[in-house]
Structure 1
Amino acid sequence: MSDAHKPVINDPHDMPHEGPIKTPKQLVVTVVFSFLIPIFLIVLLATYVAGFNKPGAGTELLAEEAVARRIQPVGTVEIKDLADPAAMKTGEQVFNAQCAACHTTGAAGAPKLGDNAAWAARVSTGYDALLNSALHGKGNMGAQGGGDFTDFEIGRAVVYMANKSGGSLKEPVMAPAGAASGAEAPASAASN
């Protein structure tokens, strides 16, 4: 037959079908690799995932840091020796810790420390009236100025502020050993 008589195939579907595997050896190699490559990939993936050191859920609950965070104290206890005036805070220390916020700036109508004119009327009422105002609150100031000091320490702070503002009050004397605080001592003495 001549080349002229060969049919011309223009449609690709009409062409003879051939695959990439032409020999039995290629078929065996293809089948082996089609099983080995997925198995190899699965082993690599399992090794990768197992290589991370991930603790199980809830295992960190017993770690030292976690236990320490859970049992840390919520508050602390401070024990003061009420019989030792040296163990108590001074008037200046109480002032700086509690009173300075309002009495240095004049916030909420508080008389400023060192303003003799503002303190003159207050100092003239005497120590007992000043201490009563400090312990129970007056105007915008809460009881003890919102602090947690003993009455004796508050009394020291009252004397400190009054004396820095033109007053000449004497430092309060420590309450007798049987009394709980400096303010209760005069009350117990008056009842006897």
Structure 2
Amino acid sequence: MSEAPHGAPIKTPGQLIAAVIAGFAVPIVIIVLLAYYVDNTTRTGAGTDELSAQQVASRIAPIAQVSIRDANAPRVYKTGEQVYQAVCSACHASGAASAPKFGNAGDWAPRIAQGYDTLWHTALSGKGAMPPRGGTSPDDYSDYEIGLAVAYMANHGGANFQDPPKPAPGAPGAPGAANAASGAAAAAPAASGADANAAQASAAAAAIAAIPQAASGNPAAGGATQSADAAQAGKALYTQVCQACHAAGVLGAPKFGNKDDWAPRLKDPMDTVYNYALHGKGAMPPKGGSNASDADVKAAVDYMVSAAK
């Protein structure tokens, strides 16, 4: 038997040269393409800008941030729509947790029938699944701004409430006297009601400004002398919480500085008055719906009682 002759694949010098060149060129091309692919993926893939100045700055930025504001600068209040978008829309936009849906007249009709005073008080103190102030603090949004949001939502649900009067410069940002402003929209002439509420707010602000100067020396409600710290704590809690109703006498609350309103309350022992403030009475929730300490609540009571003497 004879075997078939084997032919060499390279038969000419040209083929040899081509094979040599291909042996070098093909691996080089493959390496270049792989390198380009890897480099291109690195440049366009997610997270590859981590060495950029912006990314580096964000990684080394301190966790705590300090925001410095001029305490003497005039406060710029948010509009009712802005407060709604930032806080209230989380539930009211969709009607979550039984919240009256924004723009739904059927949901808002029974609430509107209660009057603006009740709606505002509910927003400030909370009800059902809604936390007080929608889960914000007075440092985030003042009572006045919460009132604007309440009027904004109610009016889009069929009401015709007026915005509460804007606090006067230098006065607390949450005048309780504004609570009565909405009632004028449905009954008495709106202009006269707003003027009366503004006057009430100014009177309350003047009383608040005058009391702390003598608070440390005035007899406290229990017969002792208030310390300066207790007086300041009482004033602060009144400004943040109590004045929402007591500044204008909303929902039967004894009006700040009104001796006639406070006289029947002060016939009871001060321990009884403290107990009402701590545990609630009538429309007033325990501690006014706040999480203040018992000592601060009593200091706020002393502050209001001192103003009514």
State if a TM-score over 0.5 links the two structures.
yes
Match of 1:141 in 2: 130
Larger Rg: 1
Structure 1: gaps (5+ residues): 1-64
Match of 1:94 in 2: 83
Match of 1:187 in 2: 246
Alignment of 1:14-163 (within 5 A): 69=60, 71=62, 73-74=64-65, 76=67, 87-147=76-136, 148-163=140-155
- Post-superposition offset of 1:95: 0.3
- Percent identity, aligned pairs only, is 39
The answer to which structure has the higher helix fraction is: 2
Indicate how the Cα distance of structure 1 residues 113 and 178 shifts in structure 2: closer, same or farther if over 3 A, else same.
same
User: Any idea what the Cα deviations from partners look like across 1:31-71, whole Å, max 9, x if unmatched?
Assistant: xxxxxxxxxxxxxxxxxxxxxxxxxxxxxxxxxx79x9475
SS of equivalent residue, structure 1 residue 191: coil
- Post-superposition offset of 1:149: 1.1
- Post-superposition offset of 1:127: 1.2
Tell me how large the CA RMSD over aligned residues is: 2.8
SS of equivalent residue, structure 2 residue 172: coil
* Contact kept in structure 1, 2:143 and 2:244, CA below 8 Å: no
- Post-superposition offset of 1:97: 0.5
Letter in 2 for 1:188: A
Give the Cα–Cα distance (whole angstroms) in 2 for the partners of residues 180 and 170 of structure 1. 18
Q: Does 1:167 align with 2:159?
A: yes
- Post-superposition offset of 1:82: 8.7
- Post-superposition offset of 1:174: 1.6
User: Which protein has greater RCO, CA pairs closer than 8 Å, 6+ apart?
Assistant: 1
User: Any idea what the Cα deviations from partners look like across 1:70-110, whole Å, max 9, x if unmatched?
Assistant: 755345355687965xx100000000000111101111111
Structure 2: gaps (5+ residues): 1-55, 177-242, 249-254, 258-309
Indicate how the Cα distance of structure 1 residues 124 and 105 shifts in structure 2: closer, same or farther if over 3 A, else same.
same
* Contact kept in structure 2, 1:80 and 1:88, CA below 8 Å: no
Letter in 1 for 2:64: P
Give the Cα–Cα distance (whole angstroms) in 2 for the partners of residues 172 and 141 of structure 1. 22
Give the Cα–Cα distance (whole angstroms) in 2 for the partners of residues 142 and 178 of structure 1. 26
> What is the TM-score with the length of structure 1 in the denominator?
0.56
* Contact kept in structure 2, 1:179 and 1:185, CA below 8 Å: no
Give the ranges of 4+ consecutive aligned residues of structure 1 lying more than 4 Å apart after TM superposition: 77-84
* Contact kept in structure 1, 2:144 and 2:173, CA below 8 Å: no
Indicate how the Cα distance of structure 1 residues 101 and 185 shifts in structure 2: closer, same or farther if over 3 A, else same.
closer
Number of aligned pairs?
125
> What is the TM-score with the length of structure 2 in the denominator?
0.36
Indicate how the Cα distance of structure 1 residues 162 and 79 shifts in structure 2: closer, same or farther if over 3 A, else same.
farther
Tell me which of 175, 178, 185 is aligned to 2:171.
178
- Post-superposition offset of 1:124: 1.3
Indicate how the Cα distance of structure 1 residues 132 and 93 shifts in structure 2: closer, same or farther if over 3 A, else same.
same
- Post-superposition offset of 1:191: 2.1
Q: Which moved more, 1:108-117 or 1:176-185?
A: 176-185
